[in-house]
Amino acid sequence: MTQPAMAASARATFVHRAFYWWLVQVKHVLPPTIFFFVGFNLILLTKHLILKEYGIDYSGLVIATLAALLIGKAVLVTDSLPFMHRFDGAPLIQPILFKSAIYWVCVFIVRLIEGLAHFLAHGGAIGDFPAYVVEQFSWSRFLSIQIWLMVLFLIYVTIHELNMLFGDGELYRLFFRWRSSQAKLTRRRRIRLLTQLNRLTEANSIETISERGSPQYAELVNILHELASPSVPPVAPP
């Protein structure tokens, strides 16, 4: 291969890897962004209905969108920190409270930095910011938003942890695809299949199970097909 062709191939590989990396980040950011976009708009709708009683018109769609994007970015950055997985494997209440608190603190700091940026953009000096925070900063509004953020973080992290516990995509199937009776049958069926797989591996060596054409190999393939296709009715092994 010539040098220009190698350079073109290297560029194409780099672009492919960069696009794949970007796609992974988007998939990571999208769920919290959508969740908090909906959550913030519900809060703003409530505020709009309350202010409407006093003849005050209020709309904050742009604010909710920017805040949701900010939260999504904060979740992406925070999830990359090693200590975020400290309570993985512990009872669910521990990682839920721990991750919610970390997200809350990170957003608290980011919102303070955002306030500092606005203060400097309007001609303030960085040395005057502490006095501005103490004397003029709207802490009641700031903390009311932080309280709602904690509630939303607790809901989001709980859903995320349950989804990871049951298997990625399992909650979606439970809520939107399976009937409750079907979910119970599927759970029992998987337990039966895993028990059958355990008996198969205990009674036979890896070499026997791996031998194509053997009854043990056929049974293994049948079990794997059933596990991979929860919507298909179970088939009796040969």
Give the model confidence (pLDDT) of 223-238 as tens digits. Answer: 887 777 654 444 444 4
Structural domain contains residue 71? yes
Choose between 111 and 96: higher pLDDT: 96
Cβ within 8 Å of residue 78, ≥6 positions away = 84, 102, 103, 106
Structural domain contains residue 85? no
Mark which of 45, 80, 115 sits at the end of a domain: 80
pLDDT at residue 24 tops 70: yes
Q: Are residue 173 and residue 187 in the same domain, yes or no?
A: no
The mean pLDDT of 85-110, rounded to a whole number, is: 85
Structural domain contains residue 238? no
Q: Are residue 63 and residue 131 in the same domain, yes or no?
A: no
Q: Are residue 70 and residue 13 in the same domain, yes or no?
A: yes
Structural domain contains residue 235? no
Q: Are residue 133 and residue 198 in the same domain, yes or no?
A: no
Q: Are residue 173 and residue 184 in the same domain, yes or no?
A: no
The pLDDT assigned to 2 comes to 64
Q: Are residue 163 and residue 209 in the same domain, yes or no?
A: no
Token readout for 85 is: 């997985």
Q: Are residue 66 and residue 116 in the same domain, yes or no?
A: no
Neighbouring C-beta atoms of residue 204, cutoff 10 Å = 18
The pLDDT assigned to 13 comes to 76
pLDDT band with cut points at 50, 70 and 90 for residue 214:
confident
Q: Are residue 108 and residue 56 in the same domain, yes or no?
A: no
Structural domain contains residue 47? yes
pLDDT in tens, 63-87: 777 777 777 777 777 777 778 878 8
Mark which of 50, 80, 110 sits at the end of a domain: 80
Rounded to whole angstroms, the Cα distance separating 30 from 34 reads 6
Q: Are residue 34 and residue 66 in the same domain, yes or no?
A: yes
Number of domains in the chain: 3
Q: Are residue 75 and residue 117 in the same domain, yes or no?
A: no
Structural domain contains residue 233? no
pTM summary value: 0.61
Structural domain contains residue 144? yes
User: Which one, of 228, 235, 202, 103, lies nearest residue 161 by Cα?
Assistant: 103
Q: Are residue 108 and residue 122 in the same domain, yes or no?
A: yes
Structural domain contains residue 126? yes
Ramachandran angles phi, psi of 177, nearest 5°: -120, -40
Q: Are residue 169 and residue 196 in the same domain, yes or no?
A: no
User: Could you tell me the residue range of the domain that residue 197 belongs to?
Assistant: 180-228
User: Nearest 5 degrees, angle CA 170-CA 171-CA 174?
Assistant: 90
Mark which of 136, 155, 177 sits at the end of a domain: 177
